[in-house]
Amino acid sequence: MPDAAEQQRPQERLLDTAALFDALPESYLVLNTALEVVAANARYLAMAGRSRGDVLGKSVFDINPSLSEAQMAARREWLLATLDNLMEGESRLSPLIRYDGHPAGNGNTERYWQAKATRLDGASDAAFVLQVMDVTDQIVKTEQTRREHAKLRSQARLRQVLVEEANAALQTHRKQLEELLSFAKVGAWELDVATGFMACTDQCKANMGLQPDDAIDEARVFGELMHVDDRDMVRAAMAEAIASRAHFEVEYRVVWQDGAMRWLMSRGAARYLEDGSAQSLIGFTIDITARKASELHYQAVAQEEQRARKISERGARAMDHFVAAVSHELRSPLHAILWWTTLLERGTDPAHVRRAAEVIERNTRQLARMVDDLLDSGAIATGKLSVDLRVLDMAALATTVAEDLRLDAESRNVTLIVAPALPCLVMADEHRLKQVVLNLLTNALKFAERGTVELAVASDGADVVLSVRDSGVGIAPEALERIFERFEQAHREHANRAPGLGLGLWMVKNLVLMHNGSVTAHSDGLGKGSMFRVQLPLARLAGGAR
């Protein structure tokens, strides 16, 4: 009883290898021992601008007589260097050769060519297989890539493969042609539409991760070998090709038995019975894993460049806003100081003098805070800001800062509520922790809208939590994602009423991180207020007490 592999071999011989050779997307010549052309596929004839009668039986050195004498001599040396002393089973890739014009004589563009020669084993009328490649585009693209560096390589265009009717005259070359297909790593297959039986070449099975003796059919391909996410797409492409009597081309993944995943490209078309129904599908399978990996890599690079560009553009916009804000915020107190200084020079009323002194002092303090913020932000950005950690009562410190701001809150008609708190000891830099509390409270007062601002400090397990809640304009969900970024302001539409440099929350975040803590923001949306929460670890005192 013959096994499955022996039953399958006769089916493989049904493949029209002559038509497959003629439809190969690359250019091939088959030479005898005298280096005369015994076969040429359609792609070579089209590329060289020759008919079969022009090349069959001719010496490979003489089949392009339209070239100049110098180019013919160079071509002869090029072919000899490629074919000379080639051993059976050996393959050799030729050096590049340059032509000043197309071999067919239809252009004056400089072209580059390369050939890959293989000496066949035990051949009779066919001794050499010569793959002729026009690599001009590759040379040009290499030069362009070297010059431009930043441009992505264009995706390789896949050439269409036409599967033609049987050609009985080339049946005697079946063995040589099958070796040629294997050499090009092109797997040929035929699928019986009615039974699901598949006749495959060994290379086709190799592309699927199988051994030559492994059984294969439609059910195994779609149920086991092909990636589950690609099965519907491939079936739909095949069904569409049958219905429209057109060729199909699909790219899909297969999972080898060792778990490796490979990308394959299949091209094919249907053969039909006299009644118009599809009898079989015949086509090629080529491993495109390397090309696909390159495509995916450059797609990822393009996406990363796009993301970086968006970040850069957003940073540039933020910087523009920051420069405008600094100009505006510094100008306002300076103008107030200059104006009241002028009044001091002219006025003698003591009440007027006190009023001027108060305004000048308030605006001077505002200028000092902005300058301090700018200097501290630069130190943070360059990593030069340091902290002197000591045991502090966070509740007492926060209460002190709040009381310093109470007059400011009253001038804004905002109710400042400070919840009673027990001592909560943390390891912190007193000056920097005051900056954190001051920035959070000042920020809340700006947007409280004649409402309330609540400050609370409490211990939570191994941490101390400081929360600042306001009943103000709230924060939009999309703004919450960038609220702690440098130069960002969540409410730029309120800039005239609530001035700022866009540094306060960014400094809060960085100062809290320097204290091994964290800060978060929460809001239920615009008009619903907001809440900021700072969490610092409790101080560990001698003897393990906290």
Q: CATH no. for residue 454?
A: 3.30.565.10
Per-residue model confidence (pLDDT) at position 227: 92
- What single string gives the DSSP state of each residue in 287-347? E-HHHHHHHHHHHHHHHHHHHHHHHHHHHHHHHHHHHHHHHHHHHHHHHHHHHHHHHHHH-
Per-residue model confidence (pLDDT) at position 106: 47
278 and 173 belong to one structural domain: yes
Q: Which tops the pLDDT comparison, 77 or 371?
A: 77
β-pair type (415-418, 452-460): parallel
Per-residue model confidence (pLDDT) at position 104: 47
Phi-psi sector, 48: left (phi>0), alpha (psi -120 to 50), beta = alpha
407 and 546 belong to one structural domain: yes
Residue-wise pLDDT for 43-68, tens only, equals 888 888 888 888 888 888 888 777 77
CA distance 114 to 98: 9
CA distance 54 to 48: 10
Per-residue model confidence (pLDDT) at position 310: 80
522 lies in some domain = yes
Residue after which a domain boundary falls, among 264, 287, 310:
287
Which residues, 6 or more positions from 77, have their beta carbon under 8 angstroms from its beta carbon? Answer: none
539 and 415 belong to one structural domain: yes
130 and 232 belong to one structural domain: no
Per-residue model confidence (pLDDT) at position 330: 63
Per-residue model confidence (pLDDT) at position 421: 85
39 lies in some domain = yes
CA distance 324 to 337: 20
Using the predicted structure, report yes or no on whether residue 166 has a pLDDT greater than 50. Answer: no
- Amino acid identity at 282: I
- What letter does residue 120 receive in the DSSP assignment? P
Kind and range of the H or E run holding 531:
strand 530-537
342 and 412 belong to one structural domain: no
179 and 189 belong to one structural domain: yes
CA distance 11 to 191: 11
Greatest mean pLDDT among 160-169, 225-234, 350-359: 225-234
Average pLDDT, the chain: 78
pTM confidence score = 0.39
Residue pointed to by tokens 């320097």: 514
Q: Where do runs of H (alpha helix) occur along 23-103?
A: 42-48, 52-55, 69-83
Average pLDDT for 385-399: 87
User: What is the domain extent for residue 307?
Assistant: 297-385
56 lies in some domain = yes
Burial class (CB in 10 A: 0-12, 13-18, 19+), 34: exposed
Average pLDDT for 451-469: 91
β-pair type (261-272, 278-287): antiparallel
234 and 139 belong to one structural domain: no
Per-residue model confidence (pLDDT) at position 177: 55
543 and 441 belong to one structural domain: yes
Residue after which a domain boundary falls, among 351, 385, 419:
385
Residue-wise pLDDT for 473-487, tens only, equals 888 887 777 787 766
Residue after which a domain boundary falls, among 128, 158, 188:
158
**What CATH number did the domain enclosing 260 receive?**
3.30.450.20
Please tell me the total count of domains within the chain: 4
- What single string gives the DSSP state of each residue in 36-59? BEEEE-HHHHHHHT--HHHHTTSB
21 lies in some domain = no
Using the predicted structure, report yes or no on whether residue 335 has a pLDDT greater than 70. Answer: no
Beta bridge partners of 537: 463
Which 3-state string (H, E, C) describes 348-366? CCHHHHHHHHHHHHHHHHH
